[in-house]
Amino acid sequence: MTSVAISRGWQPGLIGSVTALHSKFYAENWDFDAYFEAKVARDMANFFDRYNPETDLTLAATIGGNPETGTGGTIVGSITIDAGEPDRAVNGVHLRWFITDDTTRGQGLGRMLMEHAIQHVEACGFDKVYLTSFAGLEPARHLYESFGFELESEQEDETWGRAVSEQLFVWEQN
């Protein structure tokens, strides 16, 4: 894999770049439309309005640009731990906007981002993390389960802008 820099927190263009990664992947592979893209952008903007660097975590993986800061390059992956979400689906912190682009997928970047996220969770003393996904994203599910996430529930839902079998995965500190 090309050299990837990992940077923490907001940086110029982050919301747009992460939204674009999600929008392109889900449009090409799942026929998601503008509703989904707008939802990702809106939810990320709301998150950064209340971002707390003590408890929240956003990581961006970039190629190119300044390798010391991770800025100025192309964002090829992201992951977020949202500890202050006002309308949580579960009692715990929310793992969100976890994605890698096609050029890096399958090369260990997702695992590296997940490792950083779980380290943050443990360092902050959080004992429960949840994420929502949907049936059919088998490589992602395999990665979640390799980190100890367990499928807690599955139901038909249209939160994503079209009907999917939404899955709730939960990780709990031992």
User: Which pLDDT value is given to residue 1?
Assistant: 55
Lowest-pLDDT range of 57-61, 65-69, 139-143, 170-174 = 65-69
Question: What is the number of structural domains in the chain?
Answer: 1
User: Which pLDDT value is given to residue 156?
Assistant: 84
**What's the pLDDT tens digit per position in 110-162?**
999 999 999 999 999 999 999 988 887 888 999 999 999 999 988 887 776 77
**C-alpha to C-alpha distance for 58 and 120, rounded to whole angstroms:** 10
Residue 45 covered by a domain? yes
**What's the pLDDT tens digit per position in 48-63?**
999 999 999 999 999 8
Residue 38 covered by a domain? yes
Residue type present at position 19: T
Q: What is the CA radius of gyration of the chain?
A: 15
User: Which pLDDT value is given to residue 68?
Assistant: 62
Which of 131, 48, 53 lies closest to 95, judged by CA? 131
Residue 168 covered by a domain? no
Q: What does the CA dihedral 50, 51, 56, 60 come to, rounded to 10 degrees?
A: 140
Residue 28 falls in which region: left (phi positive, over 0), alpha (psi -120 to 50) or beta: alpha
Identify which has the larger pLDDT, 69 or 16: 16
Tokens in use for 98? Answer: 């976890």
Instruction: Over range 87-105, report the average pLDDT.
Output: 86
pTM > 0.85: yes or no: yes
User: Which pLDDT value is given to residue 48?
Assistant: 96
The CATH number of residue 109's host domain is 3.40.630.30
Residue 167 covered by a domain? no
Residue 146 covered by a domain? no
67: containing domain: 5-126
User: Which pLDDT value is given to residue 58?
Assistant: 97
Residue 134 covered by a domain? no
Residue 21 covered by a domain? yes
User: Which pLDDT value is given to residue 69?
Assistant: 60
pLDDT confidence band for 46 (50 / 70 / 90): very high
Residue 68 covered by a domain? yes
pLDDT confidence band for 70 (50 / 70 / 90): low
